[in-house]
Structure 1
Amino acid sequence: MKTGVVYVAAAIAEIAGCFAFWGWLRLGKPIWWAFPGLLSLAAFAYLLTLVESDAAGRAYATYGGIYIVASLVWLWIIESSRPDRWDIAGACVCLIGAAIILWGPRG
Structure 2
Amino acid sequence: MTVVRSLVLFLLAAFAEIGGAWLVWQGVREHRGLLWIGAGVAALGLYGFVATWQPDAHFGRILAAYGGVFVAGSLAWGVVVDKFRPDRWDYVGAGICLVGVAVIMYAPRP
- Measured against the shorter chain, the TM-score band is over 0.9
RMSD of the alignment, in Å? Answer: 1.1
The reply to whether residue 55 of structure 1 matches residue 58 of structure 2 is yes
Superposition deviation, residue 66 in structure 1: 1.1
Structure 2 unaligned segments of length 5 or more: list them: none
Superposition deviation, residue 105 in structure 1: 3.4
Query: What is the rounded CA distance, in whole Å, between the counterparts of 2:57 and 2:47 in structure 1?
Result: 19
Amino acid at match of 1:16: G
Is contact 2:16-2:46 (8 Å) kept?
yes
Partner of 2:47: 44
Superposition deviation, residue 104 in structure 1: 2.5
1:85-100 pair list within 5 angstroms = 85-100=88-103
What fraction of aligned residue pairs are identical, expressed as a percent? 35
Q: 1:84 aligns with which of 82, 87, 108?
A: 87
Structure 1 unaligned segments of length 5 or more: list them: none
Q: 1:3 aligns with which of 3, 6, 14?
A: 6
Query: What is the rounded CA distance, in whole Å, between the counterparts of 1:7 and 1:104 in structure 2?
Result: 17
Query: What is the rounded CA distance, in whole Å, between the counterparts of 2:37 and 2:84 in structure 1?
Result: 24
The reply to whether residue 67 of structure 1 matches residue 84 of structure 2 is no
Partner of 2:31: 28
Superposition deviation, residue 106 in structure 1: 3.0
Aligned residues: 107
Moved over 6 A (4+): none
Q: TM-score, normalised by structure 2?
A: 0.91
Superposition deviation, residue 93 in structure 1: 0.7
